[in-house]
Structure 1
């Protein structure tokens, strides 16, 4: 008898799920794929509201929509959390051309980077210096840069399978390019779009001036990858050519906005919180369907699927629609600040902010001991082709909630096409596949269900099987 009990205990210590869990996950996926709401929600958010830049009218319409939809789900609590956000506006469409020494002009596609200052009313025209990194810029020095436009032309590294790694390898030229170029007296900055393919679409994104005084700030714009290739080729033939661009953006005073929050209160541990979320704001060139409308509606769907499938959570589960991820992270900072003030115990936080493509798995920021427990859930996801369970980063909005003991995670969809759309005019509803979106929602719901049921204590500490 003692031997039997020992064997049972050993099995329980290494298998942290039950046959009932398999049935629950199967029902979650079935419900999402046959009776889901995420695609319908995204259709409205994208096509009826559109791009949702922080501080804009559309952002406020999205807040109203999110609050209304969460209330209609019949959650235990729905509320708005005030947060002050920046208000940057693009203004009239940007215009640019390359002018050869013979005077011939060739129009190119650009867009202002988020947070950039405008050019003067007549635009900026100057010779161009091409560099690939800040070290090359430093080597050129003020003598060769002053009075010119700096063209940062470092492409994303195409042989990296993890496309977010490729993005991380070159995004500093977009974010800090203006600061670095201004040190050497440049009059403007043009940055190659963060895009793995060659096309005519410029991709915007945030940039900074750090503590540069207004008088030292120079306009900064992204150029499409096709036009970056063209400009680079033309410079090789004629390094005295000139580049002209005009943009009309403006930074206005901060305005009040809101995080939108809904909660199903836990039946056993109401003071232990699990959150799912994405960011409600987006850039203004497209309608923000992949970045991050998909994450918003998938997170909403997690709570709806709990109710639809009859799962009563043990812990309190919240959906958080964060405001201002794209150009400030104010919503995430505010949510974490309030949670800390209230002493709330967020044991697990999951973000979807990598597009609505086919889900592949998750990355987890957690201890080795907790990750060992999480890995035991992988067989439950194998029938749904979810294989990627890795320790790593989570998401920008849930990152501020990380502590030494809790878990923050990010949904990891297939990322090969993500940067074709990221921050560009083609980030639109038609680029999102209904089935892929619904699979992502079901995958998130399944993971939340397991964290809710079993908590985050390592396997060696206790066995939480309930069935």
Structure 2
């Protein structure tokens, strides 16, 4: 039986190897002469990333030696110096810092939250939301009213007066693409306080934005809109398990009182920078393709997946081009944007200066969806260029890049949107992303080296194709 098993395993291995070899040998026959060159160059990009890649060690350095990088913080300032240094080490043709004023919100002391059931004090994992005001020094205590959506909250009226409104709309876990689930309920986090504050609510808490059940609260931005200052209330997120338990206890104890305390505040705007570097185009130096992610992160973790991975992958695109002696026809510009998490000031300033200086951007690629296994790209462009990028599927599919669809791109490259600019979002697998997003667990150890490197190579491959073919596209001529 043992011999039979070993023979069976050996047969499977041999069959698999032969099948793979057969597929590889057959694939060039499907390609034109030019596509064969492209296929070979893409293979070299992947080989280099997987054997000589730098992204993983760059990420280790960023997260371990600097950590969380909230805009305006000393850590964000250190990250700017770090970014300029590694761009120069890669040997880009030019590297510079682009000044920008950014919001400066600070968390203050660790937050507290609890309530009591039958004499038992239940502590609740909680964190303040970005831009929230603080509670009074002694915290706030009030009865809780639960809602599942902004629409439900808008109907509360006087029922919310003097209460802590608890937004408990969970992810729709039937959605395979978890970013769609996130989009379906993140409005509660951002706008909840602005809806219930004018009703006289005392505070607002929201279920963390995650598809899992755990004890880690997820922070993120919120806003007060244009409501009067006297209607602005403290806003915080509680962990998903904390939300489940609170909802359960409210059913049997509708008059329970919830307590929370936070000491966050917003300081005056602070000076910071986008970090920019580029490889000059050999044929069309005036035509620019941006590759980037955001350098800032929330303060709870180390900003590994959000968006340390995007930063190091973007720079590795340039590194892979240089290692493979690929001289781009157009200028490839690497941008580490500042302040994506709570203001978008870096992206706004970059786009403003690009317009003011008469720069011609023809494409942009953003990585801001984590460092997990590559799945593909989403494209925001005119229909002709959507079809062009989709025509590259047969070149990219061997690397697991099957999803090349029309859709959104990225927050930081969004301000560059134009009929003549092809915006692309890198899309890795999203199933684990919201386990870590905006939490204390977003640390270096959660990133897989091989997955990260595959992402760098995937990004380099589509930029290689965009550089080769986009500039000849008539829709992109100025």
SS at match of 1:125: strand
Q: 1:211: how far off?
A: 2.1
Is contact 1:119-1:248 (8 Å) kept?
yes
Is contact 1:52-1:288 (8 Å) kept?
yes
Give the corresponding residue for 1:248: 263
| Cα separation, 2, equivalents of 1:406 and 1:320 | 16
Could you tell me which of 335, 343, 348 is aligned with 1:320? Answer: 335
SS at match of 1:405: coil
Is contact 2:131-2:266 (8 Å) kept?
yes
Is contact 1:372-1:458 (8 Å) kept?
no
| Cα separation, 2, equivalents of 1:255 and 1:15 | 54
Q: 1:17: how far off?
A: 4.6
Larger mean Cα displacement after TM superposition, 452-461 or 311-320: 452-461
Is 1:106 the counterpart of 2:122 in the alignment?
Answer: yes
Q: 1:458: how far off?
A: 4.7
Is 1:134 the counterpart of 2:150 in the alignment?
Answer: yes
Give the corresponding residue for 2:134: 118
Give the corresponding residue for 1:275: 290
Distance verdict in 2 for CA 1:75–1:241, change over 3 Å: same
Q: What CA deviation, in whole Å up to 9, does each residue of 1:84-104 have, x standing for no partner?
A: 00000001100000123x553
Q: Which has the higher contact order (CA 8 A, sep 6+)?
A: 1
Is contact 2:318-2:334 (8 Å) kept?
yes
Is 1:374 the counterpart of 2:402 in the alignment?
Answer: no
Distance verdict in 2 for CA 1:219–1:434, change over 3 Å: same
| Cα separation, 2, equivalents of 1:69 and 1:416 | 31
Is 1:452 the counterpart of 2:467 in the alignment?
Answer: yes
* Superposition map of 1:41-440 within 5 A: 41-100=58-117, 102-142=118-158, 144-440=159-455
Distance verdict in 2 for CA 1:249–1:214, change over 3 Å: same
SS at match of 2:194: helix
Q: 1:212: how far off?
A: 2.6
Is contact 2:150-2:187 (8 Å) kept?
no
SS at match of 1:435: helix
Is contact 1:16-1:376 (8 Å) kept?
no
Q: What CA deviation, in whole Å up to 9, does each residue of 1:435-466 have, x standing for no partner?
A: 0000000000011111111125559999xxxx
| Cα separation, 1, equivalents of 2:468 and 2:48 | 20
| Cα separation, 2, equivalents of 1:84 and 1:444 | 30
Q: What CA deviation, in whole Å up to 9, does each residue of 1:292-337 have, x standing for no partner?
A: 0000000010001111111011110010000000000000000000
Distance verdict in 2 for CA 1:378–1:238, change over 3 Å: same
Which structure has more helix as a fraction of its residues?
2
Q: 1:210: how far off?
A: 1.2
SS at match of 1:393: coil
Is 1:29 the counterpart of 2:46 in the alignment?
Answer: yes
| Cα separation, 2, equivalents of 1:160 and 1:383 | 26
Q: 1:139: how far off?
A: 2.8
| Cα separation, 2, equivalents of 1:453 and 1:138 | 51
Q: 1:134: how far off?
A: 2.3
TM-score, scaled to structure 2: 0.91
SS at match of 1:318: strand
**Residue correspondences, number:** 447
* Structure 1 stretches of at least 4 aligned residues deviating more than 3 Å after TM superposition: 14-17, 456-462
User: Which runs of 5 or more residues in structure 2 are unaligned?
Assistant: 1-30
| Cα separation, 1, equivalents of 2:373 and 2:437 | 16
Is contact 1:15-1:376 (8 Å) kept?
no
Q: 1:368: how far off?
A: 1.2
Q: 1:71: how far off?
A: 1.0
Is contact 1:370-1:457 (8 Å) kept?
no
Q: What CA deviation, in whole Å up to 9, does each residue of 1:323-357 have, x standing for no partner?
A: 00000000000000000011111101000000000
User: Which runs of 5 or more residues in structure 1 are unaligned?
Assistant: 1-13, 463-467
Is contact 1:336-1:401 (8 Å) kept?
yes
| Cα separation, 1, equivalents of 2:254 and 2:151 | 20
Is contact 1:182-1:217 (8 Å) kept?
yes
| Cα separation, 2, equivalents of 1:371 and 1:388 | 13
Q: 1:200: how far off?
A: 0.2
| Cα separation, 2, equivalents of 1:342 and 1:159 | 46
